[in-house]
Amino acid sequence: MVNWNSPEELVHDSDVFTKFMHVLLGLYAWEWATSLPFDFSVLTGRRGFKWPMTFYFLNRYCLLAALVGIIVSMNVQSEIDCQSLYMFNQIMGNFAIGLSSINLSIRTIAVWKSHYFVIIPLVALILGHWVLLLRTVVLVKANWVDALSTCQVTGNDPKLITAVYIYSMIFDFIVMCLTGIKLGFGTRQKSELVKMLYLDGLMYFLIAFTANLVAVVFSVLNLNPVMSIIADVPATVIATIAACRVVRRLNSFVNSQGVDLYTPHSGARPGQVTSGGFSSGTVQFSSSTRQETRIQMDVISKTHYDDLERGESPGEVKSAAY
């Protein structure tokens, strides 16, 4: 039987952990680099910038900063301010955890617009999530150890970290259920947009839930200080990749449906195509009967949402697309 707390095992696990973090940085760097064209299209104005995209960008770049900081802490050879570095890593990592959940919950808030009995508790859950995340930041303590020529964590609360991932699992489950209830039940015919919101929400939950579950299992087992946290960073990376891909897929999906984008203030008329991305105006879907479904890129309007689910053309409705 393996003695998980033997010096030899701790050295081996630490070596595996270090190499694993480098692999995760490489994986996320590849994901980040391959999706840069989307970011540039937003930043250069080819896709209109909407406020939910703020969480998308923060999610991506907070995690990138956290991974770079982790690699720096593992490879430093001379004395540094370990407390500041580990505090930075914890802040960026926790922000990535919270923002990945927010990226999906915004969509749920959008489809439940004007149903405050759903929105208010959901916002309360988001705030509770962030209270836990910020609490773990202030507990981190790290010092430089001359004998080892590295930083060493001297203060943390493993139980609180476990609570963060359990909370994330429950939060994502509630968000998925709320989205499923609104989009997946009680309608015979669903538009392609509704199917996209529903399937992507389910996909995100399954991926994020599994990743967080593995992190919770290792934390609860508490085999040794290294193994108890070995799945934490992978869970955050996987959840962030899934959440950001959901945002990009929805954005690209709307653009791929033969839509005409125009800005009302520019004098464009229905049927006039503007180049690239989301404009701040209206999206029109043309049908053979010349009926139009106009979707303004903000949030789904409750007044017309049921018409959208039935595949009708009610006039102007607002979309959850970013």
Whether 294 maps to a domain, the answer reads: yes
pLDDT of residue 297: 37
Condensed to tens digits (0 to 9), the pLDDT of residues 149-181 reads: 788 777 777 788 889 989 998 998 888 888 888
Whether 218 maps to a domain, the answer reads: yes
Whether 2 maps to a domain, the answer reads: no
Global pTM reads: 0.76
Give the domain-ending residue among 222, 255, 288.
Answer: 255
Q: Give yes or no: residues 226 and 295 share one domain.
A: no
User: Residue 321's pLDDT band (boundaries 50, 70, 90)?
Assistant: very low
Q: What domain range includes position 222?
A: 7-255
| Reduced 3-state DSSP string for 289-306 | CCCEEEEECCCCCHHHHH
Q: Give yes or no: residues 104 and 210 share one domain.
A: yes
Q: Give yes or no: residues 203 and 312 share one domain.
A: no
Q: Give yes or no: residues 182 and 294 share one domain.
A: no
What are 283's two structure tokens?
Answer: 């999206």
- Which residue would you say has higher pLDDT here, 67 or 140? 67
Q: Give yes or no: residues 276 and 135 share one domain.
A: no
Count how many domains the chain has: 2
- For residue 294, pLDDT over 70 is answered with no
Phi first, then psi: give them for residue 76, nearest 5 degrees. Answer: -65, 140
* Lowest mean pLDDT, pick from 57-66, 103-112, 247-256, 296-305: 296-305
Give the domain-ending residue among 255, 277, 310.
Answer: 255
Q: Give yes or no: residues 216 and 305 share one domain.
A: no
User: Residue 190's pLDDT band (boundaries 50, 70, 90)?
Assistant: low
Q: Give yes or no: residues 269 and 140 share one domain.
A: no
d(CA 304, CA 318): 8
Q: How far is CA 76 from CA 39, 48, 66, in A?
A: 31, 41, 15
Q: Give yes or no: residues 250 and 268 share one domain.
A: no
pLDDT more than 90, % of the chain: 29
**Which residue in this structure is represented by tokens 């520019």?**
266
Q: Give yes or no: residues 61 and 147 share one domain.
A: yes
Q: Where do runs of H (alpha helix) occur along the chain?
A: 7-34, 36-43, 53-75, 82-111, 116-139, 158-184, 192-221, 232-255, 302-309
- For residue 14, pLDDT over 80 is answered with yes
Whether 1 maps to a domain, the answer reads: no
- Which residue would you say has higher pLDDT here, 158 or 211? 211
Whether 29 maps to a domain, the answer reads: yes
Q: Give yes or no: residues 200 and 159 share one domain.
A: yes
- For residue 17, pLDDT over 80 is answered with yes
Q: Give yes or no: residues 234 and 109 share one domain.
A: yes
Measured over all CA atoms, what is the biggest interatomic distance in the chain, rounded to whole angstroms? 78
